[in-house]
Chain A
């Protein structure tokens, strides 16, 4: 049965990740960064809690991306490099089950990572600040969605490329994804018609990761429209599914030499 096999692959991926030392070093530095936000806040006049939240969420986001990209890519390309994938795919396992299992395994690893980092931040906010902030959890949930999106991309690149290139490609998607708003805005200010058209085309073609970024709103207690968050969730899930589908299509055709 497919669910059982997917579960076995996901659980194995999770187990490999949690026995990996890279994960712990990244997690350690993330917690140090979150903790150090207190120091940064001490040095600033006023707005103490805002700075703790701001630096904290920023750290969660950045270290989450690093974990998603490096641990994620390693877990997939290593299977192919070390030929462990041979023993798995020669069993009655469909190739799509392998991809979905890997994705779910990485997704659960990231969930645990993010939970630990968020717990660190909430404790810090609780000690230094006043009230518990549910909006923080919302911001982290959208960061998680962004990480799932990047994980799908890292799996896609891993199905046909080397680990180094895959990491480079995925980080590029991350960078471009946060710039597509700017590309659009700057493009529309151009005089030439074709630049305006091209920038608009690029804007719709490239992923827009700014949808997942509500850090500023949360830090500055700005009210958000429910539709804004709803749109981000649907956008993230649909886009992730499409990228995973592309990864499956490539992986199905692949010969393992």
Chain B
């Protein structure tokens, strides 16, 4: 089942005194399947947050349809199954962590004893048990983000939507959030999160959608998005110094590219399996040790930069 299905979504804001039209989402379609981690990536101002706001009912679509759990939405009965963490969240800072979670539990109609039990469990899970009775204004940014994630889970949701959950966090904080997201998947929850930190997306997402200037520029698994792009394999050899030059000129005709690294290693790049076989056979015949062999696939970052530079004008003019 598709947990989220967005079809031909458009969003136009009217801004300023003259109500100038500003189109932030242009014909966006995407689907998120049950149980997957979906990374919604794009540069700042691409329209990620606007899309998410429409998904959770904070803004209204100009046109297009949104289906959640197979039904047109967002409606309250669907929102009951969603956990949401907004971008750079601000919370009721005069509340303690427990009061805070209790309040949101009440909005979902969770009975009091269940609320208390769940709040304690969630605080433990985000490693904030020791601060359960501390008011939120004494929390650090990373702690707020974590209590925000706990808030998004208080209704035991089927779908968790996180807007830039890792932005502004230190490496440790990011790792914690990453682990939490992976943990949610293992509980068979669907996670939809936006990010511009690509390494985080690359590590944990099953599928990604790339949004640039309000348009989807690519959607699929990481393999689908990255595979058909040029890949190469790096072979590093460390021959005796006196053979270095001879090997280099010999390999030059077999490989894509050969270069000397650090004056004692040869870095050989081959483009496909046939080339790889030829190079390896050639090296074996000459009894040269191979130090390493690494397939280099294009990183998400490179793909992203490709998409960004591909026929696009300005970036970051609309509210993200």
Contacts and interface: CB of A to CB of B under 8 A. Distances in A.
B82 interface: yes
Given A15-B95, A90-B58, A8 B107 contact: yes
Instruction: Say which size band chain A's interface belongs to.
Output: 20 to 34
Contacts of A256: 53, 58-59
Interface in B32-60: 53, 56-60
A19 B137 CA distance: 13
A93 B92 contact: no
B44 to A, nearest CB: 15
Nearest to B56: A90
A87 B77 contact: no
B60 A5 contact: no
A91 B107 contact: yes
A5 B94 contact: no
A88 interface: yes
Interface string B77-90: 10110101010111
A9 B53 CA distance: 21
A91 B90 contact: no
A86 interface: yes
B84 A92 contact: no
A87 to B, nearest CB: 6
B151 interface: yes
Given A255-B58, A256-B59, A86 B86 contact: yes
Contact of A92 (B79, B94, B99, B319): B79
A16 interface: yes
B109 A1 contact: yes
A220 interface: no
A4 B111 CA distance: 11
Contact of B82 (A12, A86, A90): A90
A12 B103 contact: yes
Interface of B: 13, 53, 56-60, 76-77, 79-80, 82, 84, 86, 88-92, 94-95, 99, 103-104, 106-109, 148, 151, 155, 319
12 contacts: A7-B106, A12-B95, A15-B95, A83-B90, A90-B79, A91-B84, A91-B155, A92-B108, A93-B79, A255-B60, A256-B53, A257-B59
Given A5-B107, A15-B99, A89-B56, 12 more contacts: A8-B106, A9-B107, A83-B90, A86-B86, A87-B86, A90-B79, A90-B84, A91-B84, A91-B155, A92-B76, A93-B107, A255-B53
Interface of A: 1, 4-5, 7-9, 12, 15-16, 19-20, 82-84, 86-94, 253, 255-257
